Chains A and B, each alone.
Chain A
């Protein structure tokens, strides 16, 4: 009897922030594996393979002269999946460096479409298409300014499609950095009420962009020396691995199960997985910083007066930027830009402006904002998960595993997301 009561008590204590483990059977307990391999097909629900997606290109800053080197990304791009009948509309903000149609965005699109929502997908303010077309400063990272830009394009995007859809309610979500931006956009909406979001969900957001930037830089730099011969060796090892894999298979199809099957046959060391994750973010950083530099004439790697065209070699800049981390960007590009604009700003002021803590009073009171996270999410610095728990209380759903976004396509997680918006 005592044991029974104790079990119930334990379940009650834990039950508000974790989920029934029977329904959540995500296979990877190592967060690095989870982040790299994602969710194998077996754990995902069947989603519509080809939902009726339409991509739109709208001019956001018609007076801005977009340099020829970015000829291919003129016009702000977003996508809409529409329902044939009245339905709620959910805006989704992509994660760091992702476009409106990255694989994660497409998966979320399908999941919400199948659940009966209209879905409007937006690129991340750190994605080149957003920086070139929709960012006022062209220096991404300022949570409030990026979110103001987002709120503006959300209005423009909705205006573009409103005649085609019958909307019963507006919702908002975003993952990774997009989750933090969703929080800031929600605050703007609370003031301006252009949409009146009924429910907002933050999916695996960072708390302090500065801290997470450091975590991601270190993930790469403490496991791989960023100089040519060490990097060559790393790539050489993986080329050999791919060569072996190629010999054994007749097609190289890069889908979720391909990675999972490879991983089962060729498990990798945690240090190498960390390098892969770090490299993926570093690649996003090179695009983001280069575009920001050219658009804002900052003179970070590209001489400020230089006009680059589509036939100019950019390889030198790429090499410099592969050695440049997020922290370097913040210290040598971001901070000087904002201090030059407003010399009264201190370092502490600016670090506040890249953190969710700035929104704490709002987030504590906003009952319609929920949080979805993982215990072992890699982008959070020590103490940040506890901070989020304390701010969101029982509006937080925290899974025991999944790394950073690894479990996003798990049926239990998707079900939770959809139930959250439905109720």
Chain B
């Protein structure tokens, strides 16, 4: 700022300077901030909106997804993870492994159907052999002799089938409780889920007991399956500490599904 010349001989000029200073000093800093936040590295300067960045995944309902992500994180922190941890603590590992193998075996029906729909002969044989061997020799799926026999577990779900049929993943969706998904995989999971329910209701229907007991058994089994699934996933929300976990998980999920569809 130009110093006011002490020797100024013209009082009018001095008054003008004084007025100018008064205006400048009286103007509130907030007014300037509102018009120019002066961020050192503004997004608009550093990010080219036309370029496709590796972190970009189509996410048109991002705000809703983030809300759901937070909901899932809180549900996990206060309900899901404590229950799964408790289960891990009180259940011996061999028992937990049997539980996991039991549910995996039921999934072989889904795997077989999806291999069929994808015209994967080798996959069909694999799932069929796994289901037969593990259900019989493996005592109802509690053990996995099929793996030793050369038939390892290869999951195929309807979302992957749709992918193989040419359906793109579609927008990213965070499902309540289940977490990351996309439009195609949600549809796939619903289809698989419906078939799973039909199958288990069929099995439960064979139990010689009344409807209430059967419902209890069915709910108990579903609950156990959920807890077993959670116990086997080594993920804890925000364990990375990264504020960008939402973006990173979105990318990881999308890439993993691409790889699974390719195979």
Residues in A lying within 8 Å of B, measured CB to CB? 69-73, 97, 99, 101, 123, 127-129, 227-229, 231-232, 235, 239, 242-243, 246-247, 250-251, 283, 286-287, 290-291, 298-306, 310-320, 322-324, 332-333
B94 to chain A, nearest CB (A): 15
With both beta carbons as reference points, the residue of chain B lying nearest to A245 in the complex is identified as B259
> Could you show 18 A-B contacts with beta carbons less than 8 Å apart?
A128-B242, A129-B241, A232-B54, A235-B54, A250-B153, A250-B154, A251-B153, A287-B242, A290-B243, A301-B39, A301-B40, A304-B33, A311-B67, A313-B63, A314-B243, A315-B55, A318-B55, A319-B55
Contact of B243 with A69 in the complex, beta carbons under 8 Å: yes
Footprint of A on B, CB under 8 Å?
Answer: 33, 37-43, 46-48, 51-56, 62-63, 66-67, 70, 73, 147, 152-154, 237-239, 241-244, 246-247, 255, 258-260, 262-263
Q: List chain A residues, Cβ under 8 A from B54.
A: 228, 231-232, 235
> Chain B contacts of A332 at CB under 8 A?
40-41
What is the distance, in angstroms, from A380's C-beta to the closest C-beta of chain B?
26
CB distance from B133 to the nearest CB of A (A): 15
Asked if A283 and B51 make an inter-chain contact with CB atoms under 8 angstroms apart, the answer reads no
Contact present for A239 and B39 (CB under 8 Å): no
Count, A-B residue pairs, CB within 8 A:
121
A310 in contact with B38 given A73-B238, A228-B53, A239-B255 (CB within 8 Å): no
- Determine chain B's interface SS by DSSP, over half rule: loop
Judge whether B259 and A246 touch: CB under 8 Å. Answer: yes
A312 to B246: give the CA distance in the assembly, Å. 11
With A310-B67, A316-B47, A323-B46 known as contacts, the answer to whether A299 contacts B243 (CB < 8 A) is no
Are the C-beta atoms of A301 and B41 separated by less than 8 Å? Answer: yes
A318→B41 contact, CB < 8 A: no
Q: How far is the CB of A238 from chain B (nearest CB, A)?
A: 9
Contact A286 B43 (CB under 8 A): no
In this complex, the member of A291, A301, A318, A323 whose beta carbon has the largest number of chain B beta carbons within 10 angstroms is A318
By a CB distance below 8 angstroms, the chain B residues around A227 are 51
In chain B, what residue has the closest Cβ to A235? Answer: B54
Q: How far is the CB of A140 from chain B (nearest CB, A)?
A: 13
A300 adjacent to B39 (CB under 8 Å): yes
Given A228-B51, A290-B243: A317 and B66 within 8 A (CB)? no
Q: Which residues of B contact A298 (CB under 8 A)?
A: 40
Interface contact A101-B239, CB-CB below 8 Å = yes
Does B43 lie within 8 Å of A300, measured CB to CB?
no
Chain A residues, Cβ within 8 Å of B154: 250
CB neighbours of A129 from chain B (8 A) = 241
Chain B residues with Cβ below 8 Å from A310 are 66-67, 70
